[in-house]
Amino acid sequence: MSNTTRNAALGLLLGLSTAIVASADDGSHLWLRKSAPDLAIVKTEAPMSDTLRIALAELSRFHDHNVEVSTNKHRTDLGTDGFEILMNGDKLKIVASRDVGILYGVYHLLRHQACGTQFTDNFQVKEVPYYKFRMLNHWDNLDGTVERGYAGSSIWKWDELPGKVSPRYTEYARANASIGINATVLNNVNASPKMLETANLKKVKAIADVLRPYGIRVFLSVNFASPMVIGKLKDADPLKPEVAAWWKDKAKEIYDLVPDFGGFLVKANSEGQPGPCDYGRTHADGANVLADALKPYGGVVIWRAFVYGKKTEERVQQALLEFQPLEGKFRDNVVIQAKNGPLDFQPCEPFHPLFGKLKQIPLGMEFQITQEYLGQSNHLAYLATLWKEVLDSDTYQNGPGSTVAKKIHESGMIAGVANIGDDVNWCRHPFAQANWYAFGRLAWNPDLKADDIAKEWLAQTFTSNPAFIEPVCDMMMSSVPAIRQYMMPLGLAHIFASTLGNHYGPGPWLYQAGNESFLQYASLVSTNDEKAPGRRIFDATKDALGADRTKTTGTGTVLQYNAPLCDQYNDLKTCPERYWLWFHRIGWKDKLPTGDTFWEHLCGEFESGAKIAATYPGIWESVKTYVDNERYELVLGRLKLQAREAVWWKDACILFYQSVNGLPLPKGITPPIYDLAKLKRINFPSNVHFCPKPEDVNRALDGALKK
């Protein structure tokens, strides 16, 4: 039997046995599910460490080949975390320079095994991670809630710690190590000062002790006012010696408990958080006082660039205006962490201008794994395609080929806001696990392809049968493009219903002239010039839609991009279609080269996205035989809701824009089934801590149907 035939036969077998045996699966095992038919014999002469013990246990429980492992500190070509695997006679051999590299090598082997790789004589792999800090940022609060968390409460049980250490922490560490994640920020960037109280630091130590053998270092988000709030100082002015001394003492206390502590993540002077600007100081002054405190221990400060406020600049320009003048002023253990785009994790944003403009300040990346703006835990949105688009973007900072991926390599830092909660299956939507997985894989190697990652995740999480993998992978790959179409096509952004801060469902009517208090609250006024067209981001007027950010007639945001992007974005003819409304105001009746008007084209986008989402339940039904009942039903219910919500978005946007521009529904567009006035009244009793339940959404939509 050829290898391919054998693989297919094996896959079929796996598929059938899954269908017959696994009638229920709670999803708690994530992608780490396969057990080996024969137990491996594992040999090493290396001295035993906790990390090595874990690696060997994984091998002997789950791998079906004999393996020899060897830690060789002279293998500097493998860096601190890399590994090499070779077939050596009848044994596989894993070599690394540190034990953690062996652990990563072991998980790599398990991944290969689950994906059906044949370990033939010429099997050989050498892997060195591209980024040094591959990090999760939890937005978990001490009271057990999770900001933008859609999978239950926090996994950190602060009220039980340090006395009781949940076994879930070990499972968490294992899952992360299996995809190369080596750092975690335990708490929300909207940080409680209490996090740094001694009692809580002892709890942090208990978690750090569990994560350490898996190669994971713990970081904390800190509140800049901590010296005042828990240190009882008069203020937190970073230039005052007593404030600096307080941070130094606190750092010592932390490192006494957690010797490999990673450092601090800080959200300062942003969305009401305290910061150095409260005392007339700069972000550099603020970051440096913390950096000096951490420096003796090798810790780093991750200072967020997500800043905006009541400035004259428009929100998407502010970070560059604020940080560019500070080049050269930060200590060398400070990294500035920028979101992938300049607004706020929208379904489609151009990359953050900081990545192309800052020269000396090391920049880290912040992606959002949790789907705040992409259907939360109700929609399937495979985010690897979005992240790849950003990582592969060319900033032209040092000529062509200056990708964002390379830029962040300078700091070595890539972070993702975690989508993990205490739900049994960790992420609530079974397919949200794929985003956690894909983030880790891309943090290890940003050159991996999104569809390859999806396929390996599917093979490990469900079955390696191609009859399952092919259609489901296609569905995953189409998901973000479809969401962009049915929610915010052509560069629209932030038109969510968010009166309760939930960012759930459509609300384009909120972002309009006349709704000043809301616009101020959301800081979504694009310029203070009252007369400027498109003053409000995505303001729809009788004539046009979009934000004019050109240098010719608009706010000049395009100037924050290097040539040739600046001119490319400035001209509608060369601007990529997905950013049209981000950079331009376009007349509803303007003719496009296709012959359609802009209005017709826009409606076609909503329609097309909704049509793609409508195919998802059928695709899933067609692979029913390969999936256990529990996950099958869970996914099916959510895909049906997603299809329904796509129509909700399409109808809400088209009906609202029609109410502004007075234009008829273009030919070929499915007539709306919802009533605009009723849609405007939908208001879920949800908040920043959870996503509306599918049954509540369905009920609300039933009530909004046209009579």
Residues near ligand GCV, by CB under 6 A: 139, 147-148, 189-190, 267, 271, 306, 344, 372, 688
Q: Identify the CA nearest to 136 among candidates 110, 172, 105.
A: 172
Peptide bond into 162 cis (omega under 30): yes
What are 701's two structure tokens? 């939509």
Of 147 and 539, nearer to ligand GCV (C-beta) is 147
CA gap 651, 670 in Å, rounded? 9
Nearer to ligand GCV, 119 or 264 (CB): 264
Nearer to ligand GCV, 32 or 348 (CB): 348
Grouping H, G, I as helix, E, B as strand and the rest as coil, residue 452 is helix
Q: Cβ–Cβ contacts within 10 Å for residue 89, how many?
A: 9
Instruction: Report the nearest approach of ligand GCV to the CB of residue 151 (Å).
Output: 16
- Strand, coil or helix: what is 397? strand
In whole angstroms, the minimum distance from the beta carbon of 8 to ligand GCV comes to 46
Shortest CB 344 distance to ligand GCV, Å = 5
Comparing CA positions, the residue from 109, 62, 119 lying closest to residue 84 is 109
* Nearest distance in Å: CB 102, ligand GCV: 36
By beta-carbon proximity to ligand GCV, the closer residue of 147 and 237 is: 147
Single-letter amino acid, residue 538 = F
Q: Measured from the CB atom, is 212 or 315 closer to ligand GCV?
A: 315
DSSP 8-state assignment for residue 224? T
Q: Identify the H or E element spanning 202.
A: helix 198-211
| Residue number with CB closer to ligand GCV (139 or 169) | 139
Choose between 187 and 550: whose C-beta lies nearer to ligand GCV.
187
CB of 493 to ligand GCV, least distance (A): 13
Instruction: Return the exposure string of 295-323: e unless at least 16 CB atoms fall within 10 Å of the residue's CB, then b.
Output: bebebbbbbbbbbbeeeebbbbbbbbebb
* Amino acid letter, 259: P
Q: Give 304 or 584: the residue with its C-beta nearer to ligand GCV.
A: 304
Q: How far is the CB of 273 from ligand GCV (least distance, A)?
A: 8
Asked if 417 and 188 touch (Cβ cutoff 8 Å), the reply is: no
Q: Minimum CB separation from ligand GCV for residue 275, in Å?
A: 12
- Nearest-5° angle of CA 196, CA 200, CA 201? 70
Nearer to ligand GCV, 428 or 441 (CB): 428
Task: For residue 706, report the phi and psi dihedrals to the nearest 5 degrees.
Answer: -65, 145
Smallest gap from Cβ 503 to ligand GCV, in A, equals 6
1-6: Cβ within 8 A, 24+ apart: 3/118, 6/118
Whether the upstream peptide bond of residue 564 has omega within 30° of 0, thus cis, is yes
User: Looking at beta carbons, which pairs linking 634-638 to residues 24 or more positions away fall under 8 Å?
Assistant: 634/27, 634/429, 634/430, 635/380, 635/429, 635/430, 635/431, 637/694, 638/377, 638/378, 638/379, 638/380, 638/429, 638/694
Residue 249 is which amino acid? Answer: D
List the one residue out of 267, 233, 105 whose CA is nearest residue 180: 105
Beta bridge partners of 133: 413
Min CB(307)–ligand GCV separation in Å: 10
Active-site residues, by number, are 271, 344, 372
